[in-house]
C-alpha cells in the first residue's frame, strides 16, 4: 500500500466519525425544529468502517504531521492493528445494535416527544465523538495525540452514560466523571513529569527513557493509577458497576469492551515493559500491579455474584477480567524476559474480552426483549459467550492457552494457579449473569414480548460469532490466533468444572428457597461510604472557609475603621485650621496685645 493511500486511510479513519457527528446538527438545522427525524440512520452507523478498513488493509507504517499539536505521529503496527480491528468491529456492531435499541425513542421523537428527540440527538452526536477519541488513542504515538484521544473519549462518553437521565443514571455518570477526572489528573502528572524529564514527545521515547530515570518508578506509579481508573484497578473501579447498568446497552458494550481497554493500552504504551535494564523500582511496581490485579480479579468475582442486575454482574466481571489483564502486565514488568511472549497474549486477551463482553452486554438487551426463538436456542446463544469468557471454548480458550503457555515457559506456574482461581470466579459470575437474565426473561415473557427491531439480533449474532471465531480471523490483522493441543484441554477446563461444581448446588439450594446472600454489597461497593466521607469533608471545608471569610471580614473592617478614624482626625485638623482662619484677626490682636503687655511690664 502506498504511503499516500495509507495516510488517507488513517486520516479518514479519524475524520469520518467526526464528519458524521457534524452532520447531526447540520441536518437538524436544515430540517428545522419540530420535524423530528431518526438520527441513527445506516450512514450514521458506518462511522467505524474506515478504521476497520485501515486495520484490515493497512500495513505497518506511520504518519507524521508536524503542524498537529506538538507534532503528531500516528502509527500502525501489529498490536495496534489487532486493537484497532476489534475496537472498530465492536463499535460498528454496537452502533448497529443501537439503531434497534433506540428505535423506541426514535418513534417517540418522530411522534413529537421532545425529550426523546433531544436524548437521541445527543446520543447521535456523542457516539461518533467518543469513537474518534478511542481510535485516536490507539493510533497515536505522540503523547499529545494520545492524551487528546483519551480525554475526548472520556468526556464524550459521559453523555452516553447518563443517556436516560434517570436518577441512577446521574449517580452513575457522577461516579464516572469524578473518577475519570481524577484519572486524567494522574495521567497528566505522569506524562508531564516523564516527558519533561526525558525531553521526549512520543510514547516510545517515554517508555524507553523511563527505564533508568531517577524518579522513573514514581512516574510509573502515577501512570499505573491514572490509567488504572479506566482499567478498573481494584479500589479505582468504583465507577464501573455504577455506570454500566445505567448506560444504554450498546454504550455499556463499548464502554466495557473497548473503552476500558484504553487503560491497558495506556500501560502498554508508557510503562517500560520487557526492558531488562529497568530499575529495581519497576520490579516492585510490577509486583504491586500483579497483587492488586489479582486482588481485583478475585474480589470483583465475590462482590459480583451478589449483584441482582445482570449488567452490574457483567461490570464486576469486567473488573475481574481487567484485574487478570493487570496481573499479566504486572508480570511483564516483574519479569522482563516474559514480556515478548506475554504481549501478544495481553492483546489477544483484550480483543477476546472486548468482543465477548460486548456480546454479553448486547445479550442482556436481547434477553430483555426476547426474540421469537425457542427458549432453549436463546439460552444456548446467551450461554455461548459466557462459556467463552470462562475460558471453555472459542476465543476464551485460545486466550487462556496463549497466556498460560507463555507463563509456563517463563516458569510462573504460581501465577497460573491464581489466574485459574480467578477463572473459577468468572464461571460463577457468568452463571450469575445467566441466572439474572433468565429471571428477567421470564418476567419479560410474562409481561408480553416487546417488539424487537431487526438490527438488534443481527448485530448481536454477528458480534457473538466474531468473538467466538476470533482466533480464526485474527490472522487477517496479521496476528497469531493460537489454539491449544488436545492434551492441554483438561488443564484449561478445570476452573470451569470447579465453578460449575459450586454453581449447581447453589442453584439447587436457591430453588428450595434457601437464601445464599446474607449481605449484598450495593453496586459500586466502596463508592457509597467514600462519597459520604467526601461529603462530610466538603462540609467541614465549607465551614472552615466561612470562618476564614469572617476573619478576613473582621480584618478588612478593622482597616476601614482605622481609615475612617484617620479621615476623621484629618477633618478635625481641617476644622481647627478653618477656626484659626476665621479668628485670625482676633488672635493676632490678642497676641500683639499680649506682647505689648509683656514688653511694657518687662521693661518696668
Partner 1 sequence: MSAAFFPVATLATSLAAAAIIFLLPEGAFRARTGLNLAAALLKIGLVAWMVRGLSQGHAYAVEFPVLEGLAFVLRADALGIMFAGLSSLLWLFTTIYAIGYLEDSPNRRRFFGFFSLCVASTLGISLAGNLFTFLIFYELLTLSTYPLVAHRGNPKALAAATLYLRFTLTAGLVLMIGMVALHALAGDIRFGQREILAEFGAEQRGTLIAIFWVLIAGLGVKAALVPLHGWLPRAMVAPAPVSALLHAVAVVKAGAFGIVRLVYDVYGAELSHSLGLLTGLAAVATVTILYGSLRALAQVELKPRLAFSTVSQVSYVVLGIGLFGPLGTIAALSHLLHQGLMKITLFFCAGNYAEELGIHRIDELDGAGRRMPLTSVAFTLGALGMIGVPPLVGFLSKWYLGTGAVQAGMPWVIAVLMVSSLLNAAYFLPILYRLWFRPGPDHGVGTWPAERHLGRLETSAWLLLPVVATALFSVLAGLFAGLPYTPLEWATRVANLEYLP
Among 9, 177, 217, 305, binds partner 1 (CB under 8 A): 177
Residue 578, C-alpha cell as written in the block: 478653618
Residue 113, interface with partner 1 (CB under 8 A)? no
For residue 117, what is its C-alpha cell?
428527540
Nearest to 157 by CA among 130, 120, 124, 181: 130
Contact window for partner 1 (CB under 8 A) among 53-61, 62-70, 263-271, 410-418: 62-70
Nearest distance, CB of residue 148 and partner 1, angstroms: 4
Q: 124 and 77 in contact (C-beta within 8 Å)?
A: no
553 binds partner 1 (CB under 8 A): no
Name which of 252, 310, 314 is nearest 441 in CA terms: 310
- Please report whether residue 115 would count as binding partner 1 according to CB under 8 A: yes
Minimum CB–partner distance for residue 249 and partner 1 (Å): 20
The DSSP symbol for 520 reads -
Q: How far is the CB of 45 from partner 1 (least distance, A)?
A: 24
Stretch of residues binding partner 1 (CB under 8 A), selected from 60-68, 236-244, 255-263, 392-400: 60-68
Instruction: Yes or no: say if 342 and 403 are a contact pair by the CB < 8 Å rule.
Output: yes
Strand residue runs (E) in 367-425: none
How far is it, in rounded angstroms, from Cα 573 to Cα 575? 5
Scanning 190-198, 287-295, 418-426, 457-465 for contacts with partner 1 by CB under 8 A, the matching segment is 190-198
**Residue 236 touching partner 1 (CB under 8 A):** no
Interface map 428-467 toward partner 1 (x if CB under 8 A): ----------------------------------------
Beta-ladder partners of 64: 73
Q: Binding of partner 1 at residue 528 (CB under 8 A)?
A: no
Sign of CA dihedral 464, 465, 470, 474: negative
Q: Which listed residue (32, 42, 199, 485) binds partner 1 by CB under 8 A?
A: 199
| 582 binds partner 1 per the rule CB under 8 A | no
- Widest Cα–Cα separation across the chain: 144
Radius of gyration of the chain (CA): 33
Select from 188-196, 304-312, 449-457, 521-529 the region that touches partner 1 (CB under 8 A).
188-196
Q: How far is the CB of 256 from partner 1 (least distance, A)?
A: 22
Q: Contact between 24 and partner 1 (CB under 8 A)?
A: no
Least distance (Å) from partner 1 to the CB of residue 178?
A: 9
Strand, helix or coil for residue 62: strand
Q: Quote the CA–CA distance of 361 and 249 in Å, as a whole number.
A: 6
CA distance 473 to 191: 36
Give me the 64-83 binding string for partner 1, x by CB under 8 A, dash otherwise.
-xxxxxxx------------
Pick one of 276, 505, 545, 594: the residue that binds partner 1 (CB under 8 A): 545
For position 482 contacting partner 1 by CB under 8 A, the verdict is: no
- Could you say which of 61, 189, 235, 482 contacts partner 1 (CB under 8 A)? 189
If one asks whether residue 215 binds partner 1 (CB under 8 A), the answer comes out as yes
Q: Which is nearer to partner 1, 136 or 254 (CB)?
A: 136
Contact 357, 254 (CB under 8 A): no
Are the beta carbons of 153 and 134 closer than 8 angstroms? yes
506 makes contact with partner 1 (CB under 8 A): no
CA pair distance 412, 429, nearest whole angstrom = 26
Q: Which residue lies nearer to partner 1 by CB, 194 or 304? A: 194
Classify residue 309 by its DSSP letter. S
Shortest Cβ distance from residue 78 to partner 1 (Å)?
A: 27
Closer residue to partner 1, CB minimum distance, 185 or 340: 185
Q: With CB under 8 A as the rule, give the number of residues binding partner 1.
A: 37
Question: Residues, the chain, total?
Answer: 604
User: Judged by CB, which is closer to partner 1: 138, or 422?
Assistant: 138
CB 47 → partner 1: shortest distance, Å?
20
Binding flag, residue 185, partner 1 (CB under 8 A):
yes
Asked whether position 148 contacts partner 1 by CB under 8 A, the answer is yes
DSSP reduced 3-state for 307: coil
**Smallest distance from the beta carbon of 60 to partner 1, in angstroms?**
25
Answer yes or no: are the C-beta atoms of 450 and 444 closer than 8 Å. yes
Q: How far is the CB of 254 from partner 1 (least distance, A)?
A: 20
Minimum CB–partner distance for residue 251 and partner 1 (Å): 15
Q: Cell numbers 516474559 label which residue?
A: 338
- The dihedral built from the CA positions of residue 535, 540, 546 and 548, taken in this order, carries a sign that is negative
Beta partners for residue 61, in sequence order: 76
Residue 23: Cβ within 10 Å count: 18
Closest CB 196 distance from partner 1, rounded Å: 3
For residues 192 and 180, the answer to whether their CB atoms sit within 8 Å is no
Residues 6+ apart with CB under 8 A from 294: 323, 324, 327, 418, 419, 422
**In whole angstroms, how close is the CB of 451 to partner 1 at the nearest point?**
28
What is the Cα–Cα distance from 113 to 123, expressed in whole angstroms?
16
Pairing assessment for the beta strands 72-76 and 61-65 based on DSSP bridges? antiparallel
Q: Kindly tell me which of 225 and 389 has the beta carbon lying closer to partner 1.
A: 225
User: Which of 49, 65 has the CB closer to partner 1?
Assistant: 65
Q: Is residue 188 a contact residue for partner 1 (CB under 8 A)?
A: yes
What is the Cα–Cα distance from 420 to 601, expressed in whole angstroms? 125
Which of these segments, 16-24, 154-162, 274-282, 354-362, binds partner 1 (CB under 8 A)? 154-162
Binder of partner 1 out of 1, 26, 57, 118 (CB under 8 A)? 118
Least Å distance, CB 549 to partner 1, is 9
CB 303 within 8 A of CB 316: yes
**Contact predicate 220/300, CB 8 Å:** no
Kindly indicate which of the ranges 146-154, 364-372, 573-581, 585-593 contains the residues binding partner 1, using the contact rule CB under 8 A.
Answer: 146-154
Q: How far is the CB of 66 from partner 1 (least distance, A)?
A: 5
Between CA 33 and CA 118 the distance in angstroms is: 11
Residue numbers of the site for partner 1 (CB under 8 A)? 25, 65-71, 114-115, 118, 122, 144, 147-148, 151, 155, 159, 162, 165, 177, 181-182, 184-186, 188-189, 192-193, 195-197, 199, 215, 542, 545
Amino acid at each position: 500500500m502506498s504511503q499516500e493511500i495509507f495516510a488517507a486511510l488513517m486520516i479518514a479513519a479519524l475524520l469520518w466519525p467526526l464528519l458524521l457527528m457534524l452532520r447531526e446538527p447540520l441536518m437538524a438545522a436544515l430540517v428545522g425544529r419540530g420535524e423530528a427525524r431518526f438520527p441513527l440512520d445506516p450512514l450514521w452507523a458506518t462511522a467505524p468502517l474506515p478504521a476497520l478498513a485501515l486495520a484490515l488493509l493497512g500495513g505497518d507504517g506511520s504518519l507524521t504531521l508536524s503542524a498537529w499539536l506538538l507534532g503528531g505521529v500516528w502509527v500502525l503496527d501489529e498490536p495496534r492493528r489487532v486493537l484497532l480491528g476489534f475496537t472498530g468491529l465492536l463499535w460498528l456492531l454496537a452502533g448497529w445494535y443501537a439503531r434497534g435499541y433506540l428505535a423506541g425513542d426514535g418513534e417517540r421523537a418522530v411522534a413529537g416527544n421532545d425529550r426523546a428527540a433531544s436524548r437521541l440527538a445527543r446520543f447521535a452526536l456523542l457516539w461518533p465523538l467518543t469513537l474518534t477519541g478511542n481510535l485516536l488513542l490507539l493510533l497515536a504515538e505522540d503523547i499529545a495525540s494520545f492524551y487528546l484521544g483519551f480525554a475526548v473519549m472520556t468526556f464524550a462518553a459521559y453523555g452516553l452514560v447518563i443517556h436516560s437521565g434517570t436518577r441512577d443514571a446521574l449517580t452513575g455518570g457522577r461516579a464516572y466523571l469524578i473518577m475519570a477526572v481524577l484519572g486524567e489528573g494522574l495521567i497528566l502528572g505522569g506524562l508531564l513529569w516523564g516527558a519533561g524529564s526525558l525531553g521526549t514527545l512520543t510514547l516510545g521515547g517515554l517508555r524507553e527513557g523511563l527505564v533508568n530515570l531517577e524518579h522513573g518508578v514514581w512516574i510509573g506509579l502515577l501512570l499505573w493509577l491514572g490509567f488504572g481508573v479506566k482499567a478498573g484497578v481494584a479500589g479505582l473501579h468504583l465507577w464501573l458497576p455504577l455506570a454500566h447498568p445505567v448506560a444504554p446497552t450498546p454504550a455499556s458494550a463499548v464502554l466495557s469492551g473497548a473503552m476500558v481497554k484504553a487503560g491497558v493500552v495506556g500501560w502498554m504504551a508508557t510503562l517500560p515493559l520487557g526492558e531488562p535494564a529497568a530499575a529495581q523500582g519497576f520490579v516492585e511496581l510490577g509486583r504491586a500491579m500483579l497483587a492488586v490485579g489479582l486482588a481485583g480479579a478475585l474480589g470483583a468475582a465475590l462482590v459480583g455474584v451478589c449483584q441482582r442486575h445482570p449488567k452490574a454482574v457483567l461490570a464486576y466481571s469486567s473488573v475481574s477480567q481487567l484485574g487478570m489483564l493487570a496481573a499479566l502486565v504486572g508480570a511483564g514488568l516483574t519479569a522482563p524476559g516474559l514480556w515478548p511472549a506475554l504481549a501478544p497474549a495481553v492483546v489477544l486477551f483484550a480483543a477476546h474480552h472486548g468482543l465477548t463482553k460486548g456480546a454479553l452486554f448486547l445479550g442482556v438487551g436481547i434477553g430483555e426483549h426476547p426474540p421469537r426463538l425457542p427458549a432453549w436456542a436463546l439460552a444456548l446463544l446467551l450461554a455461548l459467550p459466557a462459556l467463552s469468557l470462562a475460558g471453555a471454548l472459542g476465543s476464551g480458550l485460545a486466550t487462556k492457552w496463549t497466556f498460560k503457555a507463555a507463563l509456563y515457559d517463563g516458569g510462573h506456574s504460581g501465577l497460573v494457579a491464581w489466574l485459574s482461581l480467578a477463572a473459577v470466579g468468572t464461571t460463577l459470575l457468568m452463571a450469575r449473569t445467566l441466572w439474572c437474565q433468565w429471571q428477567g426473561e421470564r418476567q419479560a415473557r410474562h409481561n408480553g414480548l416487546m417488539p424487537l427491531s431487526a438490527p438488534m439480533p443481527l448485530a448481536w449474532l454477528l458480534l457473538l460469532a466474531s468473538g467466538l471465531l476470533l482466533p480464526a480471523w485474527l490472522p487477517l490483522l496479521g496476528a497469531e490466533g493460537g489454539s491449544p493441543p488436545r492434551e492441554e484441554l483438561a488443564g484449561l477446563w478445570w476452573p470451569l468444572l470447579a465453578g460449575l461444581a459450586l454453581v449447581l448446588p447453589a442453584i439447587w439450594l436457591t430453588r428450595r428457597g434457601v437464601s445464599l446472600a446474607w449481605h449484598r454489597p450495593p453496586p459500586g461497593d466502596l463508592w457509597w461510604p467514600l462519597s459520604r466521607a467526601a461529603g462530610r469533608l466538603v462540609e467541614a471545608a465549607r465551614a472552615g472557609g466561612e470562618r476564614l471569610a469572617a476573619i478576613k471580614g473582621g480584618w478588612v473592617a478593622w482597616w476601614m475603621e482605622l481609615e475612617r478614624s484617620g479621615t476623621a482626625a484629618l477633618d478635625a485638623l481641617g476644622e481647627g485650621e478653618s477656626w484659626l482662619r476665621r479668628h485670625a484677626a482676633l488672635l493676632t490682636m490678642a497676641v500683639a496685645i499680649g506682647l505689648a503687655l509683656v514688653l511694657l511690664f518687662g521693661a518696668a
